[in-house]
Amino acid sequence: MTQTQVVQLLTQLDTFDLQGLRKYLKSPFFNHRTDVVDLFEFIVFALHKQPKILTREQAWENTYPGTEFDDQQLRLVTSYLHRLVEDFLAQAQHQASEYARKLNRVKAYHELNLDKPYQRSLKKAWTTLETQPFRNDQYLKDRFETLLENYRYISSRKRSQEANTTLQKSIDAFDQYFIATKLKHACLVLSNQQIFKDDYHIHFLEEAIQHIADHPKLLQQPAISIYYYCFLTITSQEDERHFEQLREQIDLHAHRFSASEIRDLYLMLLNYCTRRMNKGSIKYARMSFDLYRAGVEERYLFENNLLSAASFSNIVFIAITLKEFKWAFHFIQDFRQFLPAKDRNNTYFLTLASLKYHQRDFDQARDLLNNFHSKDPLFILKVRTLQTRIYYELNEVELLESHLSSMNTFLRRKEVAAHLKIPYQEFIKLTRKLVRLSRYDSKQKQSLRLEIDQMRVRSLKSWLLSQLDKIA
């Protein structure tokens, strides 16, 4: 029963959504079947109170008490409940926009040919649109649709001059919406391209960029200016001015965009900083730290009140890089609660162990790693890499060799992705060379340095180089 679509869907709903759904299911306008309500109440009770009773047999007994179990009937009522839940979510999403409801009211009065109610409703729709805080691409789309609806109404009244003026306004509004959306999606595509190396075709992008150059007043629209500078930041990475302009625009207009939009923009800024750091520009470590700190304080990096394990780990890594040890410790302790439940303990112990390692408290770092339990290959490799560093620092050569052999065996498993195998196998090989290196053989040291310099994973490379530099 736990694997059914409706149970998985209900698991994701919060208390507020469940209350709304309960009213929806009990409304005779949407549902006449009491068995659907009974099944819903049983599932919600089981999910939150007694998960062990969430079986098909118990579901049947609570929905049709005292009757013989009928698997086909249970499947039918479960399917019907699933459809109603989907309908509720679709309706809730549609009703979430106050502006959308008011514009639909305007269109209804248009269809009914009621002039005064139409004008009154149109004015209310405009007021709602212009007084709401957002100035993103959705705002530009809503503005275009309002002007287009008004044009259709005016033209149906044969007021040609007014209709022509309104039509031109709607065309201009559509151009703004098109350009903002085109730039937004171009930034998304280019960001993905840098990670996955896939090819995408973005039509009319050059025309949009040129149109902005010809009409710079378009940059007065936050949805255009932010994604314009975001596009330039991604495509002209050597020109730091675009990065600074994008930061200024985000600082200026953050309140004009949704939380998810600002989160995506922050991640683009952070990815830019990471690429610059990988090229040796140290100042971007501080910029990255400042962005992460602001992203946490303002909750820009949170999604559903959760901070991803990747963001959490990256924040600690940057803080450690800058030797912001005290800040990192308090961050780990204070924000552990916001990690997703499935990653919480492992991320907490791994980041805290990493902090203790860099504070040269090797024994405590090793003890913390003993609390780690995960089947995720990347998580496991991060832990084993940190253990490698600890054994090396403690000069436990035999334990280190045994550990590297075990790590190499793990990398041969089929569940370890190819893109993980290569850098970590290289790390094992170079660590062994480091251990066996003669401190008096300058040619061997230089040869090893050249090999390490070819590594692509910065964190692995920087540690090996730092240890090589310590060898006199």
Domain C-terminal end among 95, 127, 156: 95
pLDDT score of 472 more than 80: no
Mean pLDDT value across residues 115-119? 94
pLDDT score of 406 more than 70: yes
User: Per the domain annotation, does 67 fall within a domain?
Assistant: yes
Whole-number pLDDT of residue 95: 60
Range of the structural domain that residue 434 is part of: 374-472
Q: Mean pLDDT over all residues of the chain?
A: 91
pLDDT score of 196 more than 70: no
- With helix as H, strand as E and coil as C, how does the chain read? CCCCHHHHHHHCCCHHHHHHHHHHHHCCCCCCCHHHHHHHHHHHHHHHCCHHHCCHHHHHHHHCCCCCCCHHHHHHHHHHHHHHHHHHHHHHHHHCCHHHHHHHHHHHHHHHCCHHHHHHHHHHHHHHHHHCCCCCHHHHHHHHHHHHHHHHHHHHCCCHHHHHHHHHHHHHHHHHHHHHHHHHHHHHHHHHHHHHCCCCCCCCHHHHHHHHHHCHHHHHCHHHHHHHHHHHHHHCCCCHHHHHHHHHHHHHHHHHCCHHHHHHHHHHHHHHHHHHHHCCCCHHHHHHHHHHHHHHHCCCCCECCECCHHHHHHHHHHHHHCCCHHHHHHHHHHHHHHCCCCCHHHHHHHHHHHHHHHCCCHHHHHHHHCCCCCCCHHHHHHHHHHHHHHHHHCCCHHHHHHHHHHHHHHHCCCCCCHHHHHHHHHHHHHHHHHHHCCCCCHHHHHHHHHHHHCCCCHHHHHHHHHHHHHCC
User: Per the domain annotation, does 205 fall within a domain?
Assistant: no
User: Per the domain annotation, does 435 fall within a domain?
Assistant: yes
User: Per the domain annotation, does 295 fall within a domain?
Assistant: no
Domain C-terminal end among 95, 119, 151: 95
Whole-number pLDDT of residue 147: 97
pLDDT per residue over 66-84, tens digit each? 999 999 999 999 999 999 9
Q: pTM for the full model?
A: 0.75
How many percent of the chain have pLDDT more than 90?
Answer: 72
- Number of structural domains in the chain: 2
CA atoms of 310 and 294, how far apart (whole Å): 17
- Residue 157 pLDDT grade (very low, low, confident, very high; cuts 50, 70, 90): confident
pLDDT score of 97 more than 80: no
User: Per the domain annotation, does 154 fall within a domain?
Assistant: no
Distances (CA, A) of 315 to 146, 167, 307, 359, 385: 43, 50, 11, 17, 19
User: Per the domain annotation, does 455 fall within a domain?
Assistant: yes
Domain C-terminal end among 45, 69, 95: 95
pLDDT per residue over 257-289, tens digit each? 998 899 999 999 999 998 888 887 888 999 999
User: Per the domain annotation, does 469 fall within a domain?
Assistant: yes
User: Per the domain annotation, does 403 fall within a domain?
Assistant: yes
